[in-house]
A and B are shown apart, each in its own frame.
Chain A
């Protein structure tokens, strides 16, 4: 009985550690594009740049937004593949309702 409990505890701890590692990696993957989007937005509205520079920085903001979305889609795909239940949000008559 004790051995079985010990095994279950270790298994649970391993799963928690794995989840922590994934969360930390996810934070890293989200932070870089977020810094670029915020940083270049600030430069655009605080500095007077020539059109070419504005285009260059706007392009970076767009590309980093796409990168953010890609990360989120990968997380969602992983959740679906692992069989995790996902929520769908339905908006009906101006009201939000969450359903599983």
Chain B
């Protein structure tokens, strides 16, 4: 099963993505800063990197450049809260650019696409829309 390295400075985002991707059947590793990403790449190469642009400051592009220099075949998907770098030439080195979103459908589809496998059936089952009935049944 594919191994995904999640690089994000926010611990809760790392936790959230780990839960979601493990439930999709992936193996995951996490890194909270640029040095940790480099450490993971030296010790155990992942099949794909999910890369936040904000690592110790806006250093994600530097990390992307290093990854692509040393591991040109390793796919990297930029996963960021920044909308404004979609058209940045530096982002063109990446294999995908997904803007952080509450519903993870697009991210999961992009991962599956980049890894060259079809989405699992779980990809179609995402966050249920809020309904008063659901809320009442759960004490909201």
- A51 CB, nearest partner CB in chain B, Å: 16
Interface residues on chain B, number (Cβ under 8 Å): 23
> Which positions 89-108 of chain B face chain A at CB distance < 8 Å?
99-104
- A14 CB, nearest partner CB in chain B, Å: 18
- Which residues of A are in contact with B by a Cβ distance under 8 Å? 24, 27-28, 31-32, 34-40, 42-43, 45-47, 60, 63-64
- Which residues of B are in contact with A by a Cβ distance under 8 Å? 10, 12-13, 15-16, 19-20, 23, 54, 81-84, 99-104, 126-128, 138
A residues in contact with B82, CB < 8 Å: 24, 28
Assess the A36–B127 pair: CB atoms within 8 A: no
Given contacts A31-B100, A38-B103, contact A60 B12 (CB under 8 A): yes
- A85 CB, nearest partner CB in chain B, Å: 28
Q: How far is the CA of A33 from the CA of B91 in the complex (A)?
A: 24
